[in-house]
Amino acid sequence: MNRIFAVVISFGALNLTGLCQNESINAEIEGWNAWAVYTLSTVEILTPLQKLSAVFFSHYDNRTLIVFAPSFPTTIATPLKRIFFSHADAASQAMLEKIVIETTAQPLKTVYVSHYDAITYIILKTPLIK
């Protein structure tokens, strides 16, 4: 322990690549060949909208009708590729199959829901990088 000494590093006085000027640390370090401190700055990266890849319906019943209108002008800007249903009852199953087939056949640009209530919500899934 006696061999340890406190090093207050004033990086403003150093000229090492990548160091942020006027940044300093107060840490105990010994025995290292080199060190560098980088300041981490909070950033909000305002980027273009990402492609919408999926729509998730938590609930779907026979009062719910989904219509796809690829050519409608005021629609979601990017094509939908997949739709997931967590729940569908017997009355809606046939319609669900048709929707899935059409989803596969051509990219979706709009989703209409004829009716939805408090127990229906939609999750927009964006592509994840693996």
Is 62 among the residues that bind other proteins (CB under 8 A)?
no
Is 65 among the residues that bind other proteins (CB under 8 A)?
yes
Is 91 among the residues that bind other proteins (CB under 8 A)?
no
Which backbone phi and psi does 61 adopt, to 5 degrees? Answer: -135, -175
Q: Is 71 helix (H, G, I), strand (E, B) or coil?
A: coil
Contacts of 59 (CB under 8 A, 6+ apart): 86, 87, 119, 120, 121
**CA atoms within 13 Å, Cβ hemisphere of 89:** 8
Per DSSP bridges, beta strands 6-10 and 122-125 are unpaired
Question: What CA dihedral angle connects 14, 19, 24 and 29, to 10 degrees?
Answer: -80
Query: Residues touching other proteins: how many (CB under 8 A)?
Result: 59
CB of 84 to other proteins, least distance (A): 10
Neighbours of 13 (CB within 10 A): 9
Is 48 among the residues that bind other proteins (CB under 8 A)?
yes
CB of 2 to other proteins, least distance (A): 11
CB of 66 to other proteins, least distance (A): 10
Is 8 among the residues that bind other proteins (CB under 8 A)?
no
Closer Cβ to other proteins, 4 or 93, answer by number: 4
The residues that touch other proteins, with contacts defined as CB under 8 A, are 1, 3-4, 16-18, 23, 25-43, 45-52, 56, 65, 67, 74-77, 110-118, 121-129
